Amino acid sequence: MADIVTGDIGACGAAATRGGPEALIMVPPLRCAIHAANWPASANRYPRNAMMPTTDARFAGTLPYHYERLLVPMLFEPYALDLVRRAAGLAPAQVLEIAAGTGIVTRHLAAALPAAHIVATDLNPDMLAVAQSAVAAPLVTWRQADAMALPFGDGTFDLALCQFGVMFFPDKPAAFAQVRRVLRPGGRFLFNVWDALDTNELASVLQAAMDTCFPGDPPRFFTRTPHGYHDRAAIAGDLALAGFARPSIDTVALPANAPGARAVAEGFCQGTPLRAEIEARGGDVIAVTAAAADHLERHFGAGEFRAGLQAHVISALAA
């Protein structure tokens, strides 16, 4: 259990003191971090890939539940269908999925490629537990794995794919080199990343809500990580450093749909590592969620929620 946070709670739940019984925030244990001590020395060579706080990669406790229930239908399933359509066209026999999360790509991939052997991995066992409960496919194998040190032999797979996980890699070229190593020559690496914050209105409005709730020191999770790796030239350059050739980068715009602003705010504030940043600033997660929902309703309107999303989809050849 995390610290008990109490004190004078403002509109967004910022607490002035710790201790006491008045306002308990029960925070699930965050057990599964990328440990900076285990990151490769090469992580310091690439300033644009500067290491992020370890909390950015933690999806544990109740986070996977909120993530699967609220964010997957709204954000991740539309892009999963796009990624799986591209993967199925390659007709791979041996597939590695990196950062599988709660398994939305895995379940569609298993349906689209019923004869393929799929190894689905994630850093966080709590995410994999949710994924395994939702996917029943005999040729899918689940394994906890760190993208920085993939536990597979050279040339094992025909296809590696990763949905919205690359942004969390502390050293992109080093992680890409791991992917290249486990791919057969001529294999494909297929992944997507979110475009810049200013091209994604939903995340921009949520960031504005964080700026209001925590003036002077707002959480920067959105700009630092989900929307922090979108430069097309940087992506192509990092792939080339790792031994990939002929990258193609498509920019894909898709809609996000949700029952209402509250569901969107709850998904982000309680189903992503943004929660850890809120709590680190003494914020009441429930109050901040309500404030974020108010911001979203003022911008997008009440009732059924719809917003535009934009991401890059990248395909590269293992040279």
Per-residue pLDDT of the chain (319 residues; tens, 9 = 90+): 333 222 333 457 654 333 322 222 222 322 222 222 332 333 333 233 334 455 555 566 778 899 999 999 999 999 999 999 999 999 999 999 999 999 999 999 999 999 999 999 999 999 999 999 988 899 999 999 999 999 999 999 999 999 999 999 999 999 999 999 999 999 999 999 999 999 999 999 999 999 999 999 999 999 999 999 999 999 999 999 999 999 999 999 999 999 999 999 999 999 999 999 999 999 999 999 999 999 999 999 999 999 999 999 999 999 9
For residue 96, what is the domain's CATH number? 3.40.50.150
CA distances from 163 to 83, 113, 190 (A): 8, 17, 9
Residue with tokens 């709660």: 102
CA distances from 200 to 70, 123, 205, 269 (A): 18, 26, 9, 17
Residue 20, pLDDT score: 29
Please give the Cα distance from 4 to 10 (Å, whole number): 17
Residue 216, pLDDT score: 93
Residue 260, pLDDT score: 96
Please give the Cα distance from 68 to 126 (Å, whole number): 12
Total structural domains within the chain: 1
Nearest partner of 83 among 109, 102, 107, judged by Cα:
109
CA distances from 131 to 30, 39, 145, 179, 197 (A): 18, 26, 14, 22, 28
Asked if 312 and 195 count as a contact pair (C-beta separation under 8 A), the reply is yes
280: tokens are 């680190």
Residue 58, pLDDT score: 53
Q: What is the domain range of residue 204?
A: 5-318
Residue 63, pLDDT score: 86
Residue 301, pLDDT score: 96
Residue 77, pLDDT score: 98
Residue 57, pLDDT score: 53
Please tell me whether residue 268 adopts helix, strand or coil conformation.
helix
Residue 136, pLDDT score: 87
pTM above 0.75, yes or no: yes
